[in-house]
Amino acid sequence: MNKAKGKLKVEEPTETVEPVIRQDWREETLVRMRALILEAVPEMTEEQKWKKPSNDMVGVPVWSCNGIVCTGETYKAVVKLTFAKGASLPDPSSLFNSSLEGNTRRAIDIREGEMVDADAFKALVQAAVAQNSRAKK
């Protein structure tokens, strides 16, 4: 995001998510989670945003439907899926395991070899989209 005269400006999307993904276990994990996101909400928009030199000009994968649903980032030890309004989403399967201290976002950190319950994850994605839809009314 760029600040312009006190306002936040979101950069225009330039590409889809697939080129961002690295060639290792993180790639496999992000590809798997991406597929679940698109299965849960086929009309989901995906794009890369916030490119910067510190991450080799690779953008952050962002999935949106009536607003940002979640972002996906790869780190050395985890793939992090951050839900923009996760703090207000029901999480009966306790998928959120990171960024729990904030009032807005919640994240799921996935480590090498870990699997996320596919049905619970898709329900979480659908709940996030439903929440965005209610907020737009």
d(CA 47, CA 50): 10
3-state secondary structure of 41: coil
Tokens of 36: 């679940």
pLDDT at 18: 53
d(CA 83, CA 34): 14
Angle subtended at Cα 127 by Cα 80 and Cα 44, rounded to the nearest 5 degrees? 70
- Tell me: pLDDT of 105 over 90: yes
- Tell me: pLDDT of 9 over 70: no
Residue 116: closest CA among 22, 30, 17: 30
Domain that holds residue 73: 25-136
Total domains in the chain come to 1
Is 1 a domain residue?
no
Is 32 a domain residue?
yes
The CATH number linked to 106 is: 3.90.1150
Is 13 a domain residue?
no
Rounded to two decimals, the pTM is 0.79
